[in-house]
A = this chain, B = another copy of it.
Amino acid sequence: MRNFTYYTPTEVIFGRNAEEQTAALIKKYGGRKILVHYGGGSVKRSGLLDRICTQLTNEGIEYILLGGVVPNPRLSLVHEGIELCRREGIDLILAVGGGSAMDSAKAIAYGTPYEGDVWDFFCGKAKPATALPVGVVVTNPATGSEMSDSCVITNEADKDKRGYSSPLGRCRFAISNPELTFTLPPYQTAAGVADIMMHTMERYFSNDMDMALTEALAEALLRTMKENAYKVLANPTDYTARTQIMWGGSLAHNGLTECGMLRDWANHKMEHELSGMFDVTHGAGLTALWPTWARYVYKSNIQRFVRFAVNVMGVPADPANPEAVALKGIEAMESFYKDIKMPVNLPELLGRPVTEAEIAELARRCSHDGTITVGNLRVLTQEDIAAIYRLANQ
């Protein structure tokens, strides 16, 4: 069993009308003049942004608005946010939205007190010594950024999407009201579920097989997400089902499902290249790769895939035929992706096959010009990565 650190200090306020506590939490965590960071239409159309601003005004909290965050949030807006925070003397950032707003807020929080370029952290050139406090009002459960230590930013100038993780990236508070997710379109809902499940699958598909509690918790979470995905797609205002997905999104990526185990993370790294190059929805990029990845790597740890098949996907156990069970589990997951109308290969994701030149470029970027490998269950070289993109292209 691997040693681990578990540190999830975020105060989560969960349930109906939770957003009414926003101003109180801002004050609790020291916010006097804050940046409210958000995306585009939905938080305005829904009236959520207005309600929060009214609350801030009523409670005497000064605020500056910075909207315009887009999916695969961009470095240029992060730079703009950093300038704004410095100029205005901002002491807390409140993100209102999904993963993009939250991740952009985290990057601004890292960059504001740092003298250099915040992109340094994403390139591994520097580590932040401090960060502004961040709080979030979550409207899209997917990235788990509300409890995770990570954020992912796209440097749009060179289509480079990179993540950075640090304990300083943990939000001070997260406000999650499942009712705010009722209006999510089916595609966003399904992509969110895919991302949530993948956050735990990236941890579960490990060669470490001796952490029974973590494995059992991961399986419980994955089963619950799968069951409730069908429910929320059938009935978008099913509060109980939305609750499971939203809380699952927080737990899937807060570290709980990795304790004692070495993570894999290959699918995310390969997907980040797709998002960087083609600006696709992250969750959809993940499902377009996973079945191919799984069939490419399963022989490296058949027992892990057997356990997934039986304990998560409900495939009947058959100890005499482990490989058949493992493959049935992958097939069942692929069927689930199809059921929730997520793509299961690259042509379905992009509307066309990728070219050989694009495959080469994706693999080159993902492997940092062949200087790094990705994944741990099976270590993938530049050639392996290219092979997976190519197999996913069929």
Residues of A in contact with B (beta carbons under 8 Å apart): 1-18, 178, 210-214, 216-217, 219-221, 223-224, 227-228, 239-240, 243-244, 247-248, 251, 256, 259-260
Task: In the A-B complex, list the 7 residue pairs whose CB atoms are closest, starting with the nearest.
Answer: A3-B15, A216-B220, A9-B9, A220-B220, A6-B12, A7-B11, A213-B224
Give the distance in Å from the alpha carbon of A217 to the alpha carbon of B251 in the complex.
Answer: 11
Q: Which residue of B lies closest to A8 (CB)?
A: B8
Specify which chain B residues have a CB less than 8 angstroms from the CB of A228 in the assembled complex: 212
Q: Which of B13, B248, B259 contacts A247 (CB 8 A)?
A: B259
Specify which chain B residues have a CB less than 8 angstroms from the CB of A223 in the assembled complex: 216
- Nearest Cβ on chain B to A256's Cβ, whole angstroms: 8
Give the distance in Å from the alpha carbon of A372 to the alpha carbon of B205 in the complex.
Answer: 49
Specify which chain B residues have a CB less than 8 angstroms from the CB of A224 in the assembled complex: 212-213, 216
Give the distance in Å from the alpha carbon of A6 to the alpha carbon of B243 in the complex.
Answer: 14
- Nearest Cβ on chain B to A257's Cβ, whole angstroms: 10
Q: Which of B3, B217, B240, B243 contacts A217 (CB 8 A)?
A: B217
Give the distance in Å from the alpha carbon of A220 to the alpha carbon of B223 in the complex.
Answer: 12
Give the distance in Å from the alpha carbon of A11 to the alpha carbon of B5 in the complex.
Answer: 7
- Nearest Cβ on chain B to A155's Cβ, whole angstroms: 32
Q: Which residue of B lies closest to A16 (CB)?
A: B3
Cβ–Cβ contact A240 & B12, under 8 A:
no
Cβ–Cβ contact A14 & B259, under 8 A:
yes
Give the distance in Å from the alpha carbon of A264 to the alpha carbon of B148 in the complex.
Answer: 31
Q: Which residue of B lies closest to A15 (CB)?
A: B3
- Nearest Cβ on chain B to A209's Cβ, whole angstroms: 10
Cβ–Cβ contact A4 & B14, under 8 A:
yes
Specify which chain B residues have a CB less than 8 angstroms from the CB of A214 in the assembled complex: 247
Specify which chain B residues have a CB less than 8 angstroms from the CB of A213 in the assembled complex: 220-221, 224, 243-244, 247-248, 251
- Nearest Cβ on chain B to A17's Cβ, whole angstroms: 8
Q: Which residue of B lies closest to A250 (CB)?
A: B6
Specify which chain B residues have a CB less than 8 angstroms from the CB of A251 in the assembled complex: 213, 217, 256
Specify which chain B residues have a CB less than 8 angstroms from the CB of A240 in the assembled complex: 1, 210, 212
